[in-house]
Structure 1
């Protein structure tokens, strides 16, 4: 009898799942058709945004355009939220709350593509320097896909119930936008999301594909500065000096043994000295050397252990050279950091299912964690404990990818002045998949 009851329950569960999958399959057809309609508009928008990039904390016109797009779609809009960010709310009956985030800022890079809509923008940085500006990290595509998704969801509002909370976020490249939006009350002044979703383009993936990983996807980022002190003097008499350049050199080498000998190989850590400055003349031993480091991590415990080891290694290198205790290196770790992006495993599985229904399972690629940073992770580290998922959006033309692979060449990476995405395929895929994700989650 028990076996019969268990079999009966299993049968009912399978029937329910079959009905749910069948229902979503029918909606998937509508999603694909509507997304195709919206793609042309989103591509036109993308070209406009690409031609008119704005630096971090200066996204004034971009924010106005995003606000206009939301108002035209019927959203309640709040501009200048936590800086230049724009927040929109669309209520469509009782149901879950889904948050969609796009970033808006561009980079101080001179574009070197052949696009007719290439940027020739020159702007002034916050430090007063004149620089060329380019959307070299795909934020123009993120905004266009986000807008297309919003328009598609509104067009299909009879297919779902719930609330959309969307944010066009400032200053992702400075890791400031997400934190400032949260501090301004994103999750207290607006409906609290049940899920938060976002994209980032990936030129290492073909356009038409989605990269997905459940768990760590982007690394946490900290920066540190080490000031190494010495006893300066004439380069002809090193025996009368304590050379901080030699001490700094020893520190650089010894830092690498922290990762290889003190941290578990199962805990990814990167310690990179990206800047080292000391001295003014070839025949003068300086009094100090400054080094700047970037630290990448996934585990809070591992990075704290690494920082402790950096301080110990720096101190011991100076002591070996005979520096007194009051002149040991100063290790400063900036309080400004980007936490890791940790995709919620259960949410990622759901996204995998929905995306597979929209574009086919063969176009969903399981990707590896990356050691670059993204401030989207901050949305998942608040007291609300919101499940988040950031997906890679493939952006390189498939024919170009095949050609490059055959020639043993690589695609132009993110932050390259020659970044050349397949705009149409990338945006269309992004709209389809994100719309499917939202409707799928709202229909549970």
Structure 2
């Protein structure tokens, strides 16, 4: 990032802060990001980008060609969550929307995608204003539908790699409850793969007073819940990080009626492909074995509802980016994460599909003074609202400025070398 680019950022912040507050107050659910995408498209056209809307849903791809050189993709996500905001902010969301299940639900930017989108708009402004400082092609990808882990796949299915300049690197970031003003990175796996399942167990209904005349799918499901926990405790090596959580059990309506079926919904988080495959096979084996042991009339239905790959930061590309982070932001603001995050993202599909490196990092969004010594950072984080909490909201500054600078610095790691 050149000194000219660095000097450009502060003057952009007042307008961008207003845009951020507007996004935060007007969140939209996955696959419903029409308003947000419209604002993004209009902003990018005003900057002189070649803009294409409705890519893989409400996705926006904006391209700025600036002579010979590499092609860099910068990506941000746009969707909110079905959460009722409780931050008390003056710009807090009171929005509601119709969920995919037909219910009317509150909507909140509880995962910081409003910040991600605003940071990318800011970085796009910097690149547009300093075209004499770099050379190449910048592709900004504003992705819909990240929260379901479907958005990147939808954009790929819609031909994003064929319709737009192919990347040499894919870059992105995620805000979280870490000290604002700092960047947190990790070569290799930085976020987990996510595989979400719905398992339907089938029984034979009957009266609750005569269970011997029925086949009880509730007992089947309950046994499966307990047995599934042994995948982590007994089948996975202690040094292989795996999380398996059953988040929903749905069966029956009355206390005295044994239902015909019971449904489990669960999520699996892994970092290693071999471990992931083994854990998935174990989930399927346990579900079928519990049904067989209960004399179920048929095998359970096992459906993968969503799936997203491990987010991998290429080691060589990460070294390149973080070296530039340090030289611009300072050593103390660039921090190695001790362990990967168990949360998941779908940005990794872009790099995998294009067969190019990706670099992904975390952007601190919490009040930095909370982490001042002698405070234990992990204990501080445990007390702060996490992403997806109704209380979650990043500090606007210095989070926004740092996020803009990080995207420009990372992009310039390739584009600047060609100028």
TM-score range, shorter chain: over 0.9
Q: C-alpha separation between the residues in 2 aligned to 1:97 and 1:259?
A: 42
Q: Aligned pair in 2 of structure 1 residues 250, 123: CA closer, same or farther (>3 Å)?
A: closer
Q: Which one of 105, 108, 117 corresponds to residue 131 of structure 1?
A: 105
Q: C-alpha separation between the residues in 2 aligned to 1:122 and 1:230?
A: 38
Q: Cα deviations across residues 136-170 of structure 1 (Å, max 9, x unaligned)?
A: 11111111110111111222221111110111111
Q: C-alpha separation between the residues in 1 aligned to 2:216 and 2:374?
A: 48
Q: Which one of 320, 325, 328 corresponds to residue 358 of structure 1?
A: 328
Which residue is equivalent to 2:88? Answer: 114
1:29-428 pair list within 5 angstroms: 29-203=3-177, 205-321=178-294, 323=295, 327-334=297-304, 336-367=306-337, 368-382=339-353, 384-402=354-372, 410-428=383-401
Q: Cα deviations across residues 200-237 of structure 1 (Å, max 9, x unaligned)?
A: 1011x110000101111121111222222334433334
Does the residue aligned with 2:74 lie in a helix, a strand or coil?
strand
Q: C-alpha separation between the residues in 2 aligned to 1:292 and 1:217?
A: 25
If the length of structure 1 is used for normalisation, what is the TM-score? Answer: 0.87
User: What do you get for the CA RMSD once the two structures are aligned?
Assistant: 2.2
Larger radius of gyration: 1
How far did residue 314 of structure 1 move?
Answer: 2.6
Instruction: Report if aligned partners of 2:148, 2:306 keep a CA contact under 8 Å in 1.
Output: no
How far did residue 402 of structure 1 move?
Answer: 4.8
Instruction: Report if aligned partners of 1:358, 1:433 keep a CA contact under 8 Å in 2.
Output: no
How far did residue 85 of structure 1 move?
Answer: 0.9
Q: Aligned pair in 2 of structure 1 residues 316, 53: CA closer, same or farther (>3 Å)?
A: closer
If the length of structure 2 is used for normalisation, what is the TM-score? Answer: 0.92
Q: C-alpha separation between the residues in 2 aligned to 1:268 and 1:329?
A: 30
Instruction: Report if aligned partners of 2:386, 2:392 keep a CA contact under 8 Å in 1.
Output: yes
How far did residue 393 of structure 1 move?
Answer: 0.5
How far did residue 62 of structure 1 move?
Answer: 1.0
Instruction: Report if aligned partners of 2:143, 2:152 keep a CA contact under 8 Å in 1.
Output: yes
For structure 2, list consecutive stretches of 5 or more residues without a partner in the other structure.
none
Does the residue aligned with 2:308 lie in a helix, a strand or coil?
coil
How far did residue 403 of structure 1 move?
Answer: 10
Which residue is equivalent to 1:13? Answer: none
Q: C-alpha separation between the residues in 1 aligned to 2:222 and 2:102?
A: 33
Instruction: Report if aligned partners of 1:207, 1:394 keep a CA contact under 8 Å in 2.
Output: yes
Does the residue aligned with 1:379 lie in a helix, a strand or coil?
helix
Which residue is equivalent to 1:9? Answer: none
- Greater Cα offset, 310-319 or 342-351: 310-319
Does the residue aligned with 1:147 lie in a helix, a strand or coil?
helix
